[in-house]
Amino acid sequence: MSIHVEHIYKHYGSFTALADVSLTIDSGELVALLGPSGSGKTTLLRIIAGLESPDNGAILLHGEQSTQHSASKRGIGFVFQHYALFRHMTISENVAFGLRVQPRQHRPPRRVIRERVQELLHLVQLDSYAQMYPEQLSGGQRQRVALARALAVKPKVLLLDEPFSALDAKVRKELRDWLRRIHDDLHVTTVLVTHDQEEALEVADRVAILNQGKLEQIGTPQSIYDSPASPFVYNFLGNVNLFHGRLLADLSSEERGSGAEQTVQSAIGFVRPHELELSRKLPPDWKAVVASVVRIHAAGPQVRLELSIVGSGRPVTAELDRRRYEELALVPGEEVFVWPQSIRLFDGADAKSLLLDQGAGI
């Protein structure tokens, strides 16, 4: 079932939670709503669910106007951050709940309910926990029960509100992979709210980034990482080094040293740590910045170096693969040349022509 979000506005008192947010989620997609606290992502999810109503705008579920339908009538499944399991019911009673509260005509017979519960507990690998109470389960197990409970009524849309943020890192990763696998099996349209960019990029078909109530960008994980639409998106999706400098008109390499440079405007360049090159020798056709090595984090697949630009003291973070690192054999305190392989600018200019101005306090 597809979801159309059209021009949704929501405010709480003087605080604007959502301002003119529109997006479309195709049937069977897994979309992540990503953003920092206060960005409006949970509010949007709850509006889609019917747990909140928008001040303006519409929600269409499979083409049908659903904005005035209550949460119990939208055919959605909702998984809460803190599980919201019914603590006075056993695990199987929890999972069966959605089926048991259906109106008499639609309600399946008890036998069918029992089988479905067993089926779902098997899906989430908690078969032997059927008669236990939520209190007796771990956080990860409780969340799996919450998912089983939401899936029991065969919802057309599955909504998850930061489902893994209350769990510790290893469990989070396991459940993340597992959610993806279940999605691939069941093909339910799924919307996942998270503030963890790694989670969103790993799990989702498409990612929508929200900031202060506005939709910044929506696209596949690859496309928003490679082509971020704004500094905010760039910054949010990973580590960034900022280089302040002046923009020159595009010069060929011969013209560069001739003193005929013209400054067009000052700009800020965004460079990812792995896009930086380090060397003891200054490359002939390129100006570089001199930085001293402050700290080296050598544990892990990539080596991360914290550097400090000589003169201004501004920090730069570089990432090298192990081979390059071992070639260089850098030690803390050494000085080294640093330059970017590519820079992203957000005022539309061509990246290569940024003059790295050491004096101007990069």
Partner 1 sequence: MVKMPKTEARKTWSLATRSSPLPGFRLTIGFTLIYLTVIVLIPLTAILLHGARLGFGVFLHTVTSPRVLASYRVTLGCAAIAALLSAISGMLVAWVLARYSFPGKRIVDALVDLPFALPTAVAGISLTALYAENGWIGRYLEPHGIHVAFTPLGIMMAMSFVGFPFVVRSVQPVLEDLDPAMEEAAASLGANVWQRFTRVIAPVAFPALLTGTALAFARAAGEYGSVIFIAGNMPMKTEITALLIVTKLEEYDYTGAAAIAGAMLALSFTIMLLVNVIQWWVQRREGKRV
Partner 2 sequence: MSGRGALPPSALLRASIQQRVGRMVLIVAALVFLAVFLVLPVAAVFTQALSQGWKMYSDSIYQEDVLSALRLTGLVACISVPLNMVFGIAASWAITRFEFHGKSLLITLIDIPLAVSPVVAGLMYVEIFGLHGWLGPWLSEHNLHIIFAVPGIVLATVFVTFPFVARELIPFMQAQGSDEEVAAVVLGANGWNVFWRVTLPNIKWALLYGTILAAARSIGEFGAVSVVSGHIRGQTTTLPLEVEMLYNEYNFTAAFAAASLLTLAAIVTLVLKKTIELTSGVHQPVEEKEVQS
Q: Quick check: 130 and 121 in contact, CB under 8 A?
A: yes
**b/e burial code for range 140-152 (CB count within 10 A of at least 16 → b):** bbbbbbbbbbbbb
With CB under 8 A as the rule, give the number of residues binding partner 2.
29
Specify the pairing of strand 189-194 against strand 30-34: parallel
72: contact with partner 1 by CB under 8 A:
yes
- The amino acid at residue 144 is R
What is the rounded distance in angstroms from the CA atom of residue 147 to the CA atom of residue 362?
A: 49
The first and second tokens of residue 344, run together, are 């992203």
- Sole binder of partner 2 in the list 2, 11, 19, 67 (CB under 8 A): 67
231: contact with partner 2 by CB under 8 A:
no
Q: Which does 78 bind (CB under 5 to 8 A by kind): partner 2, partner 1, none?
A: partner 1
What is the rounded distance in angstroms from the CA atom of residue 248 to the CA atom of residue 15?
A: 42
Q: Which of residues 43-62 bind partner 1 (CB under 8 A)?
A: 49-51
- Reference 261, options 279, 231, 287, 223; nearest CA is 287
The first and second tokens of residue 262, run together, are 């013209």
Q: Which does 43 bind (CB under 5 to 8 A by kind): partner 2, partner 1, none?
A: partner 2
What is the rounded distance in angstroms from the CA atom of residue 90 to the CA atom of residue 130?
A: 7
Q: How far is the CB of 98 from partner 1 (least distance, A)?
A: 4
Judged by CB under 8 A, the stretch of 2-10, 233-241, 245-253, 258-266 that binds partner 2 is: 2-10
3-class DSSP state of 131: coil
88: contact with partner 1 by CB under 8 A:
yes
- The amino acid at residue 161 is D
Q: Which does 135 bind (CB under 5 to 8 A by kind): partner 1, partner 2, none?
A: partner 1
> Could you tell me which residues are beta bridge partners of residue 309?
291
DSSP letter (8 states) at residue 39: S
Q: How far is the CB of 38 from partner 2 (least distance, A)?
A: 5
Q: Which of residues 36-65 bind partner 2 (CB under 8 A)?
A: 36-43, 46, 52-53, 56-58, 60, 63-65
User: Which is closer to partner 1, CB of 157 or CB of 201?
Assistant: 157
- Sole binder of partner 2 in the list 70, 230, 239, 342 (CB under 8 A): 70
User: Which is closer to partner 1, CB of 17 or CB of 151?
Assistant: 151
- Residue 121 CB neighbours (<10 A): 21
Residues contributing to the site for partner 2 (CB under 8 A): 4, 6-7, 12, 15, 17, 35-43, 46, 52-53, 56-58, 60, 63-65, 67-68, 70, 195
Residues contributing to the site for partner 1 (CB under 8 A): 49-51, 70-73, 76-78, 80, 82, 84-89, 97-98, 101-102, 132-136, 146, 149-150, 152-153
